[in-house]
Amino acid sequence: MKNEKLTTDEYDALELIQRGGKQDLASACVGRNMKRLCGIKMANRGRDGRLTLTDKGAEVLFLRRCITSLRALALDPATRLDEDVLRFLSRKSHVMPIETGGYALTDKGRESLADIEQQIEAGR
């Protein structure tokens, strides 16, 4: 996967597409970002005109949730994590349970988070 940088507005649009809408019309956020998100293959417009998230778009949102969870755990080990994120981070040995309840970052998790933060700073 290429390193496509998304704006906060584009991430918000992906989340809105993932949730789906009760209306056929796209929100302003989705409308502003639709062309780019479809162009980088993170969303599709179906034959009926509805936008859907591609596997690539779903993966990007999931990874964003994992990074957000790592940051939250670095600040507070009692942070509650979604089951799928917790399962993934545990399987990758980024977090471990602690006796007092909650989870702590492992050395590998801290290294990964530091690497992510460094890449973000380098991209600015």
The whole-number average pLDDT for the span 68-97 is 94
Q: Could you tell me the two tokens for 58? A: 């779903």
The proportion of the chain whose per-residue pLDDT surpasses 90, expressed as a percent, equals 60
The pLDDT tens digits for 100-110 are 888 999 999 99
Domain shared by 47 and 71, yes or no: no
Among 1-10, 53-62, 76-85, 111-120, which is the least confidently predicted range? 1-10
Question: Domain of 79?
Answer: 66-123
Residues 71 and 118 reside in one and the same domain: yes
Residues 88 and 40 in one domain: no
Q: Residue 73's pLDDT band (boundaries 50, 70, 90)? A: very high
Band of pLDDT at residue 1, cut at 50, 70 and 90: very low
Alpha carbon distances (Å) from 111 to 60, 101, 105, 114: 20, 23, 9, 5
- The 3-state secondary structure of 39-73, one letter per residue: HCCCEEECCCCCEEECHHHHHHHHHHHHHHHHHHH
* 30 and 78 together in one domain: no
Q: Is the residue at 61 inside a domain?
A: no
In-domain check, residue 59: no
Flag whether 2 is in a domain.
no
Could you tell me if residue 108 is inside a domain?
A: yes
Q: Which residues touch 120 (CB under 8 Å, ≥6 apart)?
A: none
Is the CB of residue 65 less than 8 Å from the CB of residue 82? yes
Tell me the whole-structure pTM to 2 decimals.
Answer: 0.85
Task: For residue 24, name the pLDDT band (cuts at 50, 70, 90).
Answer: very low
Residues 22, 49: one domain? yes
Region at 85 (left for phi over 0; alpha for psi -120 to 50; beta for the rest): alpha
Number of structural domains the chain divides into: 2
Write down the pLDDT at residue 22: 56
Helix %, strand %, coil % of the chain (to 5): 55, 10, 35
Same domain, 45 and 70: no
Chain segment 38-69, per-residue pLDDT in tens:
999 999 988 887 888 999 999 999 999 999 99
Do 91 and 115 fall within a single domain?
yes
- Residues 119, 70 within the same domain: yes
